[in-house]
Amino acid sequence: MEAVKFHVRKNDLVVVMAGKEKGKSGKILKVLPKKKRVIVEKVNFVKRHSRPTGRMRQGGIIQKEAPIHISNVLILCPKCNQGVRTGKRALEDGQKSLVCKKCGELIERK
Ligand SMILES: [Zn+2]
Protein backbone atom coordinates (compact mmCIF):
# COMPACT_ATOMS: atom_id res chain seq x y z
CA MET A 1 0.00 0.00 0.00
CA GLU A 2 1.38 3.34 -0.96
CA ALA A 3 1.47 6.03 1.64
CA VAL A 4 -0.77 8.99 1.05
CA LYS A 5 1.18 11.86 -0.40
CA PHE A 6 0.73 15.27 1.05
CA HIS A 7 2.37 18.53 0.10
CA VAL A 8 4.15 18.57 3.41
CA ARG A 9 5.84 15.98 5.53
CA LYS A 10 7.55 15.55 8.85
CA ASN A 11 10.36 18.04 9.58
CA ASP A 12 9.22 20.47 6.89
CA LEU A 13 9.13 24.11 7.87
CA VAL A 14 5.66 25.40 7.25
CA VAL A 15 3.57 28.51 7.64
CA VAL A 16 0.00 28.45 8.84
CA MET A 17 -2.19 30.09 6.24
CA ALA A 18 -5.58 30.05 7.90
CA GLY A 19 -7.30 29.90 11.24
CA LYS A 20 -6.41 31.53 14.51
CA GLU A 21 -2.76 30.55 14.18
CA LYS A 22 -2.44 32.22 10.81
CA GLY A 23 1.03 33.57 10.07
CA LYS A 24 2.84 31.36 12.53
CA SER A 25 5.54 29.07 11.34
CA GLY A 26 7.23 26.00 12.67
CA LYS A 27 8.49 22.56 12.01
CA ILE A 28 6.13 19.69 11.40
CA LEU A 29 6.50 17.29 14.27
CA LYS A 30 4.00 14.77 13.09
CA VAL A 31 1.67 14.04 10.20
CA LEU A 32 -1.63 12.35 10.92
CA PRO A 33 -2.51 11.00 7.47
CA LYS A 34 -5.89 9.58 8.34
CA LYS A 35 -7.07 12.79 9.88
CA LYS A 36 -5.29 14.89 7.26
CA ARG A 37 -3.78 16.90 10.06
CA VAL A 38 -0.34 17.91 11.15
CA ILE A 39 1.23 18.88 14.42
CA VAL A 40 3.42 21.93 14.04
CA GLU A 41 6.02 22.82 16.62
CA LYS A 42 4.86 25.62 18.92
CA VAL A 43 1.70 26.20 16.92
CA ASN A 44 -1.83 25.81 18.17
CA PHE A 45 -0.98 25.24 21.77
CA VAL A 46 -3.82 24.06 23.89
CA LYS A 47 -3.93 23.88 27.60
CA ARG A 48 -4.79 20.57 29.06
CA HIS A 49 -5.46 19.71 32.60
CA SER A 50 -3.61 16.66 33.65
CA ARG A 51 -4.32 14.59 36.65
CA PRO A 52 -1.52 13.61 38.93
CA THR A 53 -0.43 10.16 37.94
CA GLY A 54 2.32 7.89 39.13
CA ARG A 55 5.08 9.43 37.11
CA MET A 56 3.93 13.03 37.04
CA ARG A 57 2.92 13.68 40.55
CA GLN A 58 2.26 17.32 40.05
CA GLY A 59 -0.56 17.28 37.60
CA GLY A 60 -1.80 20.71 36.71
CA ILE A 61 -1.94 22.40 33.35
CA ILE A 62 0.24 21.30 30.50
CA GLN A 63 0.52 22.91 27.11
CA LYS A 64 0.56 20.78 24.05
CA GLU A 65 0.39 21.32 20.34
CA ALA A 66 -2.96 20.39 18.85
CA PRO A 67 -3.16 19.14 15.27
CA ILE A 68 -4.20 21.54 12.55
CA HIS A 69 -5.60 20.70 9.15
CA ILE A 70 -2.98 19.90 6.57
CA SER A 71 -4.60 22.17 4.00
CA ASN A 72 -3.97 25.13 6.28
CA VAL A 73 -0.21 24.90 6.06
CA LEU A 74 2.19 25.70 3.26
CA ILE A 75 5.91 25.08 2.95
CA LEU A 76 7.99 28.04 4.07
CA CYS A 77 10.26 29.22 1.30
CA PRO A 78 13.45 30.67 2.84
CA LYS A 79 13.88 33.03 -0.07
CA CYS A 80 10.34 34.36 -0.30
CA ASN A 81 10.10 34.20 3.48
CA GLN A 82 6.48 33.14 3.27
CA GLY A 83 4.26 30.14 2.73
CA VAL A 84 4.35 29.10 -0.90
CA ARG A 85 2.96 26.53 -3.25
CA THR A 86 5.57 24.02 -4.18
CA GLY A 87 6.34 21.72 -7.06
CA LYS A 88 8.72 18.87 -7.66
CA ARG A 89 11.70 18.91 -9.90
CA ALA A 90 13.88 16.00 -10.84
CA LEU A 91 17.52 16.60 -10.15
CA GLU A 92 20.41 15.26 -12.20
CA ASP A 93 21.02 12.47 -9.73
CA GLY A 94 17.43 11.32 -10.18
CA GLN A 95 16.23 12.56 -6.83
CA LYS A 96 13.17 14.69 -6.70
CA SER A 97 13.51 18.00 -5.06
CA LEU A 98 10.98 20.45 -3.83
CA VAL A 99 10.88 23.82 -5.51
CA CYS A 100 9.10 27.03 -4.70
CA LYS A 101 6.60 27.80 -7.44
CA LYS A 102 7.02 31.46 -6.79
CA CYS A 103 10.77 32.03 -7.02
CA GLY A 104 11.92 28.64 -8.31
CA GLU A 105 14.27 28.14 -5.39
CA LEU A 106 15.07 24.60 -4.34
CA ILE A 107 13.78 23.91 -0.89
CA GLU A 108 15.89 21.56 1.13
CA ARG A 109 14.21 18.90 3.16
CA LYS A 110 15.75 17.39 6.20
ZN1 LIG B 1 10.26 31.18 -3.01
In order, the DSSP letters of 37-92 are: EEEETTSSEEEEEE---SS--S-EEEEEEPPEEGGGEEEEETTTTEEE-EEEEE-T
| pLDDT tens for each residue of 41-68 | 999 998 888 777 766 666 788 889 999 9
Report, in angstroms and rounded to the nearest whole number, the Rg of the chain calculated over CA atoms. Answer: 17
Ligand 1 centre distance from Cα of residue 34 (Å): 29
Angstrom distance (rounded) from CA 26 to CA 29: 9
The DSSP call for residue 21 is T
Ligand 1 centre distance from Cα of residue 47 (Å): 35
Ligand 1 centre distance from Cα of residue 30 (Å): 24
Can you give the pLDDT at residue 67? 96
Ligand 1 centre distance from Cα of residue 103 (Å): 4
* Averaged confidence pLDDT in the chain: 90
Ligand 1 centre distance from Cα of residue 84 (Å): 7
| pLDDT tens for each residue of 67-84 | 999 999 999 999 999 999
